[in-house]
Amino acid sequence: MHSITININNKQLVDKVMWFLEHLKNDGLEIISKEDIDDLKLLKATRKEKSIPFNAYLENEN
């Protein structure tokens, strides 16, 4: 798999590029925002942390 990052500062060009890329999804193209990737990396980093039940969290929210 190859990954490409594209930075576009022009809203009209963003719309045109996204329109084109959307048409390539049927050929296997996957579009993921950089923000989504960053969020997934942060979430993955917390997997080994100890978790507590939600009720316990609410009891200790202060």
> Tokens in use for 41?
């990396």
Q: Report d(CA 12, CA 19) in Å as an integer.
A: 11
pLDDT score at 54: 82
pTM of the model: 0.53
List, for residues 3-46, the tens digit of each pLDDT value.
888 889 999 999 999 999 999 999 999 988 878 888 888 888 88
Across 46-57, average pLDDT: 80
Q: Report d(CA 19, CA 5) in Å as an integer.
A: 16
Helices (H), the chain: 11-22, 34-45, 54-59
pLDDT score at 11: 94
